[in-house]
Amino acid sequence: MTESNVSEVRTFNRFYTKVIGALQAGMLDSPYSLTEVRVLFELAQAGSMETGELRGLLGLDAGYLSRILTRFEGDGLVARERSASDARRQLVRLTPAGAEVFAGLDRRQSEEIDRLLAGLPGPDRERLVSSMAAIRRLLGAPDTREAVVIRPPRPGDLGWVVFRHGELYSSEYGWGVDFEQLVARIVGELDLSRDAGWIAEVNGERAGCVFCVRQDDVTAKLRMLLVEPSARGHGIGRRLVDECLRHARAMGCKRITLWTRDSLVSARRIYQAAGFTLESEEKGVENGVEVTDQVWSRDL
């Protein structure tokens, strides 16, 4: 971890706490702090909650939480009672007045965020929201319920395909601009009225791609299979290849081929598992790096 990394995170923290008003004495011009509003939020979502559970959820000191709840009781926002199943445990819930106060704060918070986002052009707004989701995903607990979607390409996807091929294969294998230009030419030659492509998304973010191109009346070609490093090992590559095989059969093709390189070990395992066999290979050079080009194929 470099000093500049630490400095950038601290700078972002200072910036964002100012943006959301966390430095003010009260959130949204209310008499309650950011932490107190968060306690109201959790109680509003749960209905009722044990104080120990609430403390663990928010990582609060027991004495600090007790003072917050005592204040809320004095303001008529919460009620506390002993658990019917265990008198040692205390349950806390919002009163009707507390629910009304929270609803007003929640509405004003949404309005503030809406005004914040409304000041950004559409692409910048989407970039901001996706970046926030990435921060939450990377710094939060692992999500065991990742939603994987395989869909047709939409506007903007083809540019992403070229960009990620160029960037990813440069960082992982040292391939240069010539390879990126090759991918750009392949993308430019696609005829999506005849050819087909699929984009894999994980939790709403692009995580992979593949395309199926018709070569002649009986032969299809699988092209540009890519799976993001963060999404590997979850069967996404196999699902993309299966889409290509299904589409090629639906087109009436009898055979499908692909071009790859021997250094792409994970991709080669996917191809072998899908029934492809090595047809030919040839030595070459990519950006000064020795490579072995391979053609694989299988009957349909």
- Identify the pLDDT of residue 225: 97
Angstrom CA distances, 133 to 19, 20, 86, 124, stand at 17, 17, 39, 14
Return mean pLDDT, the chain: 88
- Identify the pLDDT of residue 143: 54
Interior angle at CA 205, CA 111 and CA 273, nearest 5 = 160
- Identify the pLDDT of residue 296: 97
d(CA 145, CA 168): 26
Closest by CA to 162, choosing from 134, 144, 181, is 181
d(CA 233, CA 267): 11
DSSP 8-state assignment for residue 274: T
Length of the chain: 300
Q: Which two tokens stand for residue 240?
A: 């993309």
Domains recognised in the chain with CATH numbers: 3-119 (1.10.10.10), 148-299 (3.40.630.30)
- Identify the pLDDT of residue 255: 96
- Identify the pLDDT of residue 148: 81
DSSP 8-state assignment for residue 26: S
Q: Answer for the pair 295, 257: CB distance below 8 angstroms, yes or no.
A: yes
d(CA 64, CA 55): 9
Strands 196-202, 78-82: pairing is unpaired
DSSP 8-state assignment for residue 152: -
Q: What is the pLDDT along the chain (300 residues), one digit of tens a residue?
A: 688 888 888 888 888 888 777 667 677 778 888 888 889 988 888 878 888 888 888 888 888 999 999 999 999 999 988 877 666 778 899 999 988 988 898 888 888 888 888 888 877 887 787 788 778 777 875 554 567 889 999 999 999 999 999 999 999 999 999 999 999 999 999 998 889 999 999 878 899 999 999 999 899 999 999 999 888 878 899 999 999 999 999 999 999 999 999 999 989 999 999 999 999 999 999 999 999 999 999 999
Q: Which two tokens stand for residue 269?
A: 């395992």
- Identify the pLDDT of residue 145: 53
Burial class for 123, CB neighbours closer than 10 Å (0-12, 13-18, 19+): exposed
